[in-house]
Amino acid sequence: MPGKINLQLSVGPLQSDGYHPVATVFQAVSVFDDVKISLSNNPGITLHSAKQSDHLPLDKNNLAFKAAELMIKKFDIKDGLEITLTKEIPIAGGMAGGSADAGATIVGMDSLFGLGLSRNELEKIGSTLGADIPFTISGGTAIGTGRGDQITPVLSRGSYCWVLALSSAGLSTPAVYKECDRLREGLQVAPPYVSDALLHALTAGDAVALGKALSNDLQPAACSLKPALRLILDVGMDYGALGGLVSGSGPTVAFLAENEDHALDLVVALTSSGVVGNVVRASGPVPGARVIESA
C-alpha cells in the first residue's frame, strides 16, 4: 500500500460544516505499508504493529481498525480477524499513511472473504471513513475534489524521482487547517482549483515544468507550526531540486529530482546538512492497494 504526496493542494474557505473544499493532485509514491489480514480464533479485531512505535494507536483510533469494523458490519462477517501493520509511511507525515492502511484493509478483506467488490465500490466504502482513502485504493496520479475523496484519474507520462525529508514528529492535520484559517483571517479566499500548468506538465512528462508548478496552500501553516520546515525547503532547493513542497498537511517535505543520480545527490546533501534526520528516495506514480498473497 503506497503513500501519497500532493503535487498541488488548493484549499478553499472554511464551510459551515467545518470542512474546507479542496482541489488536489495526488501521486502515489513507492513508500509502502504492508497490511497482513488473517482469520483468528479470537473474536473481534486484534491489531498488531510489526515495528515498535509510541505514536501508532492499535485500537479503535486506528483507521485500519475502523475499516475492519466497517467491513465486518457492512458484510455481516462473523470471523475474528488479526491485522498486522508493517509501516514505512511516516505516521502523521502528510502522506496518508493511516488512510493507506485503511484502504489496504478494505481491499484485503474483499479478497479474504471473496466479496467481489469493484474498485469503485471499494473506494466508496473508503470515502465514508476518510477523504484520502479512495485515492490510496486507486493509486497512480489523480485529481481529488470535494473533500479530496472524489477521484478522477490524470494522464501522467513517465516516472518521477522524489526525495522525501521525513520528520521524527508528526503534525496534526486539524491543527494545520486551523492555522491556515488563522493566517488567512480577513482575506478573500478563492474557490479551490487545479493548476493547468501542473496538468500540462504531467501530460508532457516534463519534470522541470512539474517542479515549477508544485504548490500547497497548507504549506505556510505547516511552516508556521514547524519553522524548521522552511530550512529544509531552502536546503533542498539550494542543492538543485526541480521543486519542493510540504506534502499535504506535513511535515514530510517532498523534493523533485531530475533523475536517480540527482536524487542520490539530494539525499546526501540533505543528510549532511543536519537539518533533517531521515531522507529517503521514492518514485511515482505507482499503483494503489494490491493483494500480494491470497490465502
What are the cell numbers at 195? 493548476
> Which DSSP state fits 235?
H
Q: Is 145 helix (H, G, I), strand (E, B) or coil?
A: strand
Active site residues: 4, 132
> Alpha-carbon distance 47 to 137, whole Å?
21
Give the residue ranges of the chain where pLDDT is below 50.
none
CA 293 vs CA 36, 85, 108, 278: distances in Å:
9, 15, 10, 30
b/e sequence 44-71, b meaning 16+ C-beta within 10 Å: ebbbeeeeeeeebeeeeebbbbbbbbbb
CATH class (in words) of the domain with range 160-284: alpha beta
Predicted local distance difference test score (pLDDT) of residue 52: 73
Q: Are strands 45-49 and 80-86 parallel, antiparallel or unpaired?
A: parallel
Domain 2-153 in CATH 2.70.70.10? The answer is: no
Predicted local distance difference test score (pLDDT) of residue 276: 87
User: What are the start and end residues of each CATH 3.30.230.10 domain in the chain?
Assistant: 2-153
Q: Cβ of 40: how many Cβ atoms within 10 Å?
A: 14
User: What are the start and end residues of each CATH 3.30.70.890 domain in the chain?
Assistant: 160-284
Helices (runs of H) and strands (runs of E) counted in the chain = 10, 12
Residue 185 sits at the vertex; the CA angle it makes with 131 and 225, to the nearest 5 degrees, is: 65
Whether residue 220 is preceded by a cis peptide bond, meaning omega within 30 degrees of 0, is: no
Predicted local distance difference test score (pLDDT) of residue 294: 64
Predicted local distance difference test score (pLDDT) of residue 208: 97
CB 205 within 8 A of CB 229: no
CB 117 within 8 A of CB 124: no
Predicted local distance difference test score (pLDDT) of residue 275: 86
CB 23 within 8 A of CB 10: yes
